[in-house]
Structure 1
């Protein structure tokens, strides 16, 4: 478009009958107005193009076109772009401030984000990396409002490929491995809280392939647990019960497994726990005798984990941290939980004592435990917090029998 083709009204400098120097041009379409410099009838140099809706461009013109450095304000969206233009389009390096408070700074191509750039949203989410057609694409790092940070591969605005998700506050690992369509998918390591880690295993759509999990005691070989005064070890396995394969999930590590002892009650209260056997139990506080080294290490672990709920559970239970899908309670015997007899059992015990006046206190204690063994139950459950994959493991109930045969001389 040359000077002779412009049909609107012009006021300004001319040279050889052509607009040259500074001038103001009102287009025949009143929506457009230009104020700036001219050269041989064309907009050239610095000027301002105004639009009837309040939008404008202010910056460089080359040969009648918006090309070079400038600022473009869009009245409808309230977006403002400052940077390089090429033939009227955002092209090159620039900064776009959106009307909603978001801001992008980086490379543009034909009015779209293209190449390296950073996008800061109004709620302080930040992405820095590569873009393609306004989408995160390639390598980049995204910080989210909850403080977590993802660094890795992107395809079409989704996490896809290999990436690492961390806690932005302490840099602890949440997940590192393969992603697909914005979800954890493939081989990777997943961590949550201060103890739990799902190590080098397969996930599909952010869930483990061996889903769901359940607890099992001693490989399901014991339906009733026999306790003596000799310490035993209770082994708890975390089992993959999908498709009935019943294999231990060795990738599952760091769950907190709790063992409680309960005694059947005929008069349940609000504090009594229901069981699948049709009766309630009252929890029995653990013995205050000196603990083994294993118990001490468990106590230290729970002091580190912090939660009030876990600390309260120590008083009435034992805790073990799983490793490679297995947790072990070491040193369990007849004195681990002091058993309190109900009145009915006490009368039985008293009658036995009256018929055997010469019986020692230890013998009476054995008889009392024998009389109540059918009413004692161990409750084993998963108290990991936060709950991994929003799935707690099923509770295991184990009836307990007492035996003193090993101590009878």
Structure 2
């Protein structure tokens, strides 16, 4: 009995068109309905690899790594200056799932900038912040604020070293008043010193020392008194 060969069924034209429309691997420029533009690599119709996105409404530009449609890897984000129209860097560093994550540097209005670790789009981990008034904070961050151990160096060289919580001095710490030649060591709560000891420290080299030295403490047990007061205010061990 002869073998009958039937013609192979041809796939619908829309399947072929859809397959050809799939952007995969190669670089393409695609415009969104709202005018946004992406030029770069694709995978299964998603931004994936190296690419540049331009947002029409704000003029902002991101150039760097993408993963399945989201910023992921290393990249930089810039915005145009409203007056000069020149582009200014806002963030350069690592991203994950479309948010700042890992080490990166951010530039704020007024000349302030931060360099350090990020998590979920917030400053988190170890980092250094340069403020507009000339002061510098270096230490631990939590939920976009100083939290943990850190040092705040003021523009006049005075500095605080110790614990922080919610962006404020909180817990054991030392404040060096180098302009006066004094040192305060004690416990802080929400930026307010609650108890501690104030002593002369480098008074002879201080540019504006106090008129008289701090008198000697005459308590029978000054360390015991301080320890008792510190235990009353120090809640940093319970967190």
TM-score, normalising length from structure 2?
Answer: 0.70
Aligned-residue offset at 1:111: 1.4
1:71 paired residue number = 76
Deviations 1:42-79 (A, max 9, x none): 21111111011211111001122111110112458966
Aligned-residue offset at 1:110: 1.6
2:214 paired residue number = 197
Aligned-residue offset at 1:175: 1.2
1:143 paired residue number = 153
For the residue of structure 2 that corresponds to 1:73, the secondary structure is strand
2:190 maps to 1:181: yes
- Listed as ranges, the matches of 1:274-353 within 5 Å are none
Instruction: Extract unaligned runs of 5+ from structure 1.
Output: 1-13, 201-249, 252-409
Aligned-residue offset at 1:198: 6.1
**CA pair 18-49 structure 1, distance change in 2 beyond 3 A:** same
Aligned-residue offset at 1:162: 1.2
Runs of 4+ in 1 over 3 A off after TM superposition: 14-17, 74-79, 167-170
CA contact (8 A) 1:79 1:97 kept: yes
Between the aligned partners of 1:184 and 1:198, the Cα distance in structure 2 is 20
CA contact (8 A) 1:174 1:190 kept: yes
CA contact (8 A) 1:47 1:59 kept: yes
**CA pair 167-22 structure 1, distance change in 2 beyond 3 A:** same
CA contact (8 A) 1:73 1:80 kept: yes
Mark the structure with the bigger radius of gyration: 1
1:105 paired residue number = 115
1:60 paired residue number = 65
1:124 paired residue number = 134
TM-score, normalising length from structure 1?
Answer: 0.42
CA contact (8 A) 1:48 1:59 kept: yes
Say which of 49, 52, 65 aligns to 2:53: 49
Deviations 1:186-214 (A, max 9, x none): 132244825432666xxxxxxxxxxxxxx
Aligned-residue offset at 1:168: 4.9
1:203 paired residue number = none
Between the aligned partners of 1:103 and 1:159, the Cα distance in structure 2 is 21
**CA pair 199-135 structure 1, distance change in 2 beyond 3 A:** farther
**CA pair 94-199 structure 1, distance change in 2 beyond 3 A:** farther
Between the aligned partners of 1:50 and 1:67, the Cα distance in structure 2 is 16
Between the aligned partners of 2:159 and 2:215, the Cα distance in structure 1 is 19
Deviations 1:153-205 (A, max 9, x none): 111111111111114579x44311222221221132244825432666xxxxx
CA contact (8 A) 2:76 2:89 kept: no
